[in-house]
Structure formats: structure tokens, C-alpha cells
Amino acid sequence: MISREQAVENLRNGVNNARKTRQKSRHSLADEVYSVLLQMLINKELPPGTVLNRRDIAKKLSVSVAPVLEAVIQLELEGYLVSIPRKGTIVAPFGLQEIYEHMIMREALECQASRLYCGAPVRKHYEALLIQAANLDSTFINGEGNWDLEYEFHGNLVELCESEMLINEFNRVVRLGTFYGMYYIYTVPGKEKMLKNHHELLSLLAKGDPDIAEKAVREHLSTSKTMLLDEFRKNNMSVLEMEKEK
């Protein structure tokens, strides 16, 4: 025979456990909806300017509106979506300014990470990173293969800093950059420019001097940044205008 106090405690624990289970289930559904919508964005199934109807999405994915709302809020926070009064939630339009700001953010994150991971962490994984660098240096800057290898290489470097918050923010910026890239990198007529300097970057990062590492990363990223911005200015186009011409 348990006491009244123990019975109340057991009931309270049962209610709390049930609440946690419901919350976990709801968050799991929200994560699934988030992943589906993110993939649709990156695959160009939801182009910039598309109005999102939460109820239609919920019906299509066979879920309630609640997890869709959570996923939409998260995508808004990450910059993929934007809410407009009297119009609703739309896929965020973007142009040269947004892409430039993305490059600035990526540069800031990678430069800080390089100060943390330069030296021993790079030397420990040098052979594997050198193979990745060689594969990357053999691809075209405008090619889809280059885009994937680029972020894999730089992502592996950033992970060496062992700062979870910095790594998570870098991954968020990379995902957003992939979304931008689908509307720019793959639509520019093939210039097929070569960017053969990842092995040189790696050798500088292995030295263990934070100042040298930061300078090397900044100069490395500025090459791609200048190349992309020159392409925009040359064609006097925004991303959406380029999409219309296809």
C-alpha cells in the first residue's frame, strides 16, 4: 500500500512523462517537415517568391498544422522564408546584396574557426584533407561537383575547431549558400574557371600560426567572392532576373 504522497508523486511523474512524449513526438514531426521543406527549397521545388500555404503543406505531408508552423518558423529564422503582411509566408526573394552578405558571414565564421583549428588538428588529418583538396582543385569553379566538394572540404576543416556553436552556425550558412547557389552557380553560362589553391591553403593552415591561418582563409574566400560578384556586375542581373531568362 503506497502513501497518498507517493501516489500523487507517481501521478505527477506520469503526467510529466506523457507531456514529454507528446512534445518529443511533435518536435520529431516538426523536424521531419523541416527536412522535407528544406530539401524542396534546395531542389528548386519552391522558388523565391512562392507563397506557402501551411494547411496545404500539412495535408500533403499528412500531418497537423502545428509541426508545419514550427518548421516554417525555423526556416524563417534561417533566412529561407519571410512573412509579409496580408500576403503570408513566402520563399525569400534574394539578389546580389543577400548573396554578398552570405559571403561575409561565411568568411567571418571560417576565419575565426581557422584560428582555433590551425596547426596540430590539421596536421593530424593532413593526408585525408590533402586528397580532398586535390579532388577539389581538379574541378571547375562553376561545376556542381565543385560546389559539393567545396563545402565538404571547408566543413571538415571547420569541424576541427571543436566549437559546436560555431560549427552549427557554419552549417546553417552553408545550407543557405546552397539554396542561393542553385539559383546562381548552376545558371551562369559555363565559364569553367579553375581555382587551384586548396592544397596551398592547407599547407598554410598546418603551420599553427593563427594570424597566418586567418589571412590564408580570408584571401582564399575573397577569390571566389570577387569572381562571383564580377559575374553579377558584368551581367547587371539579380538572381531572379537570371531565373526568368532560362
For residue 61, the domain's CATH number is 1.10.10.10
Query: Are 145 and 185 a contacting pair, CB within 8 Å?
Result: no
**Does 168 lie in the same domain as 124?**
yes
**Does 126 lie in the same domain as 12?**
no
**Does 214 lie in the same domain as 166?**
yes
Amino acid 25: pLDDT: 43
Total domains in the chain come to 2
Per-residue pLDDT of 88-98, as tens digits, reads 899 988 877 77
- Of 51, 72, 91, the one marking the end of a domain is 91
**Does 192 lie in the same domain as 171?**
yes
Cβ atoms within 10 A of the Cβ of 55, count?
Answer: 10
**Does 143 lie in the same domain as 85?**
no
- Return d(Cα 122, Cα 163) in angstroms, integer: 15
- Give the contacts of 45 (CB within 8 A, at least 6 positions apart): none
Q: Tell me: pLDDT of 15 over 90.
A: no
**Does 70 lie in the same domain as 32?**
yes
Please state whether the predicted TM-score (pTM) of the whole model is above 0.85.
no
**Does 113 lie in the same domain as 162?**
yes
Give the structural domain span for 137.
96-245
**Does 106 lie in the same domain as 73?**
no
Report the mean per-residue pLDDT for the chain. 79
Give me the phi and psi of 83, to 5 degrees please: -95, 130
Mean pLDDT of 206-215: 96
- Of 68, 91, 114, the one marking the end of a domain is 91
